[in-house]
Structure 1
Amino acid sequence: MQIHGGDILYSNLEYDPDVYYFLYIGDLKNYALNYFVKETLEKRFSGREVQFIAIVPDVCFQYNFSNILVINPVARDDMITNHTFSNIPTAPKTSCRISGPQFMSAVSKNETVLSLIETVLKNQNEIYINLYESLMEMNLDSLDRVILLGPDKKIARKYNDKIVQFRELQGIVPLIEGAVCRGVEELMRMTSSFREKWPDGIFVSGAFSAAGANSAVTRTQEEVSAKFTDDSSEYLVTRYIPHDLDPTVLAVVANENDVYIAGVADQTIVDGNRFVGSHFPSVTTREQQQKLKEYTRAVGKLLGRSGYRGIFGCDYLIDCEGNIFFLEINARKQGTTLEFCFTLEQNLPKGSPMLPELEYCAVMENRFPEGTVEMKENSREIHWGTYNYKVMEELVTNGYIPQNPYERETFQKVANGELVKDFVILEHLGTNLKVMPGTFLSRVVSVGRCRDDVNEGLCQGVGFIKQTIQKLGA
């Protein structure tokens, strides 16, 4: 089918009516998860080819991916304003990150997307939409025969709320001492009263925050007033605990009794609360990992009783004395999901269901599929680390690293002993782009037999990425 309309920044879609399609709507950095969804659906539609169409907000120089639609109204408006919305731009095109709600809203009302769904449904009974995160602004599932492969949107929103988590998880997991308040005046009064009691700092978070946005470790009242200004918001105020370990547990909920634990990884956190990557296996002790899994299973059962079905994660910290504290639920897929798929694929018996298949069965059937098994040991001795290179100031790209689609093969080769170590640089935006603050420029994944080799690969990959950018006017 032909793609028309200035609201589509890029398309290489080739629609075949003989193929069964599903849609992926989300960031390009999660594109490879769809291969596991494709394999899941192929098991259920044996004899028919399954493919996916990816609708993404990432503005790149070029795309080494099939069946892509790019929708980014913020970038489009900037290009129009600066006269770069053409085939021969006179200035760098803009690549910027937009919020999940803004992107989902734009996709849901996009005429090209609606026409695409109508066309696909002429040749198949339903169309599934695979999401990284279930958001209220995604309303395409209100259309007949459109089905979301993910958690219920209302339930996911409820449990992504830090205030709800703090209230409902009392007595279930070890929470950090804290309190809830509303408005800036009460926030200032509360943090001031805790300042002497908690000399290491006070962590303040809005009800919804992620990757360091709308939350901060504060050590002065001036930092609180500068960061938090919404007088209508509720805030969670907790004691900041100095620590070196930030473990995260990835899991799947099928019902109120069945919770699958994918594994434990260590997050890399900078500036107190900004996530930039992960490492596996975790350096936590076997006993600590057992506790982390127990707590996560308890959270999963709470989610299951509420009707949540699908992938989620829980973040924790471990203080200098070895005490575990719960930080938050991520009621969505999280940053370790793709790499855990690759890890499970190498460590579990051949043919075992992967995470997207577990989620599919959880959402559609309230159960896990036959043959479901958790990873007990890292028998293939796979170590990996990730680094998300996010731009913190307005920059211009002056170099290009080809988009590498072979992360899965890298895990396979290290597991099989064909490689001792390797790293891949993924989803680099490309050259001649103006990149706005908050945008992911690229991602590095390093795989090896030990953490030192993994860190070496991450360091080299980040070094290559830095060579592709310069400050404006430099």
Structure 2
Amino acid sequence: MDYQDDILYTNFTYNPDIYYFIYIGDLKAYGLNTFVQETLSRRVYNREVRFIAIIPDICIQYNYANIFVINPEARQGSVDEEAGRLNLKPFRKSCRIKYDSFITAVSESPTIHKLIDTILKKQNQLYISLYESIEELTLDEIEGVSILGPDKSIAKRFNSKIYQYEKLNGVVPIADYRVCNDLESLLQTSSALREQWSDGIFISAPYSAAGSNSAVTQTQEEVASIFTEPDSLYLLSRYMPHQYDPTVLAVVANENEVYIAGIADQNIVGGNRFVGSNYPTILDETHQKVLREYTVRVGRVLGENGYRGIFGCDYLIDNDGNVIFLEINARKQGTTLEFCHTLEQSLPEGSPSLMELEYFAVTENRFPKNARELTVNARNLHWGTYNYKIDTQKRTTGYIPQNVYERETFKKVASGELLKDFAILEHVGTNFYVMPGTFLARVVSVATNRDDVNEGLCQGVGFIQQTIEEA
């Protein structure tokens, strides 16, 4: 098939003998689709199953099969004027696009519509797997196309922090909070609470992630400089000094069935910016039990309201040892792929993966009978992640080849073939201007203890830093 100029890159060639599904999301979650592929392979007879990945990531090369790259923000590119004058190779631009803008561009792409039409001529069902289900996706309105994940409207509703707090108030412990209907109310309310909430005020727009559209504020000057949308809703909550930021990954199949994948410790910078996680949690069994109980409560609320699939819950543990709910991530989150690898190596052979659990939750409103939760870290697997996100514009002068063997790394450490290892994933490559907000690369470190994990993360970050300079 022919490809329009809305596609920045593709290496896909259609094979009518293959049964396809489509993934739409960031490259960092590409590995999840192998588990979806294996799930569908057990249900599609006489045909090989493969996936097509539609991603926004701009890289120098792609060590991945069946890729389509769509990113209107990067279309204009970037030319290094000095390099042009010297007749040198110009630098291109690698930038992150807002997720809703990316999904809209994919939904409007003539090439993707033609691709779907071609696939549906050979199979009567086409699944779309999303990192996050959002309403900007319209491809599922095509007959024969459906989302293999949570309902878009329900996910949208539960990803609003304001809706979460109002829905879960009394279900799980939540910090004292206020809702403001506009900027003027935000400034007045935060000023009035500043002395009473002396440790700080956390402020967030209804939708925020990884530290965007939110901040822990200590002064009114900070509030006025960070938040400027006059008509936005704002959530204010009392900042609580704490040491621990656990996160729980789970799957919900209905109002009664909630599966807990595991608990990890988030690494938070500046009070609210997530940069990575460590597993297993260092929290004691008592706190872990409470975290599981609270997440099941949240999952049941989600299930009662029709949500089906993977979700995460973030918490803090205050200095008195109390577990306080922070937010629901009504989507796949940063620990999902690593927990898939952990469960694969730790559970009895034949146990369903997280992606298979989501498949059953979405298509049958239940979990398979052989679903098993991980109760003991019998393989002594420890891991950590670090997302290297650019805050100011940088220029890449080096390249770290893309590693696609994270799953094998987990297997080798779990089997004892390796004591420790780390991988640098999804590096954008050399000769790029990397725009603020872009993920330059990701580090995953796997070992049999946390010290070795952290050593691997440190080494990986050091290698990444050697590939950039100030632009």
Q: Same fold (TM over 0.5)?
A: yes
Q: 2:193 maps to what in 1?
A: 194
Q: Match for residue 353 of structure 1? A: 352
| Structure 2 CA distance for aligned equivalents of residues 109 and 79 of structure 1 | 25
Distance 2:332 2:238 in 1: 27
Equivalent position of 2:144 in the other structure: 145
Specify the alignment match of 1:340 in structure 2.
339
Give, as a single letter, the amino acid of the residue that structure 2 aligns with 1:32. Answer: G
Q: Which whole-Å deviations, capped at 9, do the CAs of 1:330-365 have from their partners, x for residues lacking one?
A: 000000000000000011000100011110111111
Q: Is the 8 A contact 2:78 2:433 kept in 1?
A: no
Give the letter aligned to residue 374 of structure 1.
Answer: E
1:382 matches 2:386: no
Q: Residue 105 of structure 1 corresponds to which residue in structure 2?
A: 104
Kindly provide the amino acid, as one letter, of the partner of residue 142 in structure 2. Answer: L
Match of 2:397 in 1: 398
Q: Secondary structure of 1:208's match?
A: coil
CA shift, 1:91, in A, is 1.5
State the match for 1:93 in structure 2: 92
Q: Distance in 1 between matches of 2:140 and 2:292?
A: 33
Taking the aligned partners of 2:368 and 2:405, their CA distance within structure 1 comes to 28
Matched, 1:162 2:161: yes
Q: Is the 8 A contact 1:182 1:231 kept in 2?
A: no
Q: After TM superposition, list the pairs within 5 Å mapping 1:236-315 onto structure 2.
A: 236-315=235-314
Q: CA deviation at 1:5?
A: 2.0
Residues of 1 paired with 2:90 and 2:311: CA distance? 41
Q: Could you tell me how far apart the structure 1 residues matched to 2:381 and 2:183 are? A: 47
1:324 counterpart residue number: 323
How much has 1:80 moved relative to structure 2? 9.3
The whole-number CA distance in structure 1 between the counterparts of 2:319 and 2:13 is: 55
**Structure-2 separation of matches of 1:276 and 1:95:** 20
Does the CA contact (< 8 Å) of 1:78 and 1:94 recur in 2?
yes
Equivalent in the alignment of 1:450: 449
SS at match of 1:91: coil
Paired residue secondary structure (1:210): coil
The alignment partner of 2:45 has SS state of coil
Matches of 1:317 and 1:78, distance apart in 2:
41
Q: Is the 8 Å Cα contact of residues 245 and 317 (structure 2) preserved in structure 1?
A: yes
Deviation at 1:48, TM superposition (A): 1.4
Determine whether 1:230 maps to 2:226: no
Given the alignment of the two structures, is residue 71 of structure 1 paired with residue 70 of structure 2, yes or no? Answer: yes
1:17 alignment counterpart: 16
Partner of 2:48: 49
* One-letter amino acid of the counterpart of residue 15, structure 2: D
Deviation sequence 1:390-421 (CA, Å, 0-9, x none)? 01111111101000011000000000000000
1:151 counterpart SS class: coil
| Matching residue's letter, 2:42 | K
Residues in 2 aligned to 1:91 and 1:293: alpha-carbon distance in whole angstroms: 52
Identity %: 61
Please, what is the CA RMSD of the aligned residues? Answer: 1.4
CA distance in 2, matches of 1:376, 1:402: 36
Residue by residue, what CA displacement relative to the aligned partner does 1:316-335 show, whole Å, maximum 9, x if unpaired?
00112211100000000000
Aligned to 2:431: 432
Secondary structure of the 2:321 match is coil
* Separation (CA, whole Å) in 2 of partners of 1:423 and 1:81: 34
Q: Which moved more, 1:88-97 or 1:253-262?
A: 88-97
Q: Tell me the secondary structure at the aligned position of residue 388 of structure 2.
A: strand
Q: CA distance change for structure 1 residues 89 and 153 in 2, over 3 Å: closer, same or farther?
A: farther
Letter of the 2:467 partner, please give it: T
Contact 1:182 1:232 in 2 (8 A): yes
Q: What displacement does 1:89 show?
A: 9.0
Q: Distance in 2 between matches of 1:142 and 1:90?
A: 44
Match of 1:437, SS state, is coil
- Structure 1 residue runs of 5 or longer lacking an equivalent are none
Q: Which runs of at least 4 in structure 1 moved beyond 3 Å after TM superposition? A: 78-82
Task: Map residues 410-421 of structure 1 onto 2, 5 A cutoff.
Answer: 410-421=409-420
**CA distance in 1 between partners of 2:142 and 2:287 (Å):** 46
Is 2:79–2:91's contact at 8 Å kept on the other side of the alignment? no
Q: Deviations over 1:113-168 (max 9, x none)?
A: 00000001111111100000001101100000001011000000000001101111
Counterpart CA distance in 1 for 2:47 and 2:367 is: 24
Q: Secondary structure of the equivalent of 1:377?
A: coil
Contact 1:260 1:374 in 2 (8 A): yes
Query: How far apart in 1 are the matches of 2:90 and 2:305?
Result: 51
* Structure 1 position 81, deviation (Å): 12
1:304 positional shift: 0.4
Counterpart residue identity of residue 246, structure 1: D
Shift of 1:219: 0.3
Secondary structure in structure 1 of the residue aligned to 2:53: strand
Structure 1 CA distance for aligned equivalents of residues 305 and 79 of structure 2: 45
Matched residues in 2 for 1:112 and 1:89: separation? 33
Cα displacement (A) at 1:47: 2.8
Residue pairs, 1:454-469, within 5 angstroms: 454-469=453-468
SS at match of 2:76: helix
Deviates more, 1:39-48 or 1:269-278: 39-48
What whole-Å deviation, never above 9, does each CA across 1:183-239 have from its counterpart, x for those lacking one? 111111111111111111110111111111111000000000111111211111111
The match for 1:220 is 219
The residue type paired with residue 202 of structure 2 is F
Q: Cα gap change, 1:81/1:130 in structure 2, threshold over 3 Å: closer, same or farther?
A: farther
Distance 1:382 1:80, change over 3 A: same
Tell me the TM-score normalized by structure 1.
0.97
Cα distance between partner residues in 2 of 1:151 and 1:283: 31
Task: Note if contact 2:257-2:366 (Cα within 8 Å) is conserved in structure 1.
Answer: yes
Tell me the amino acid that sits aligned with residue 445 of structure 1.
Answer: V
TM-score, normalised relative to structure 2: 0.97
d(CA) in 2 for partners of 1:245, 1:81: 44
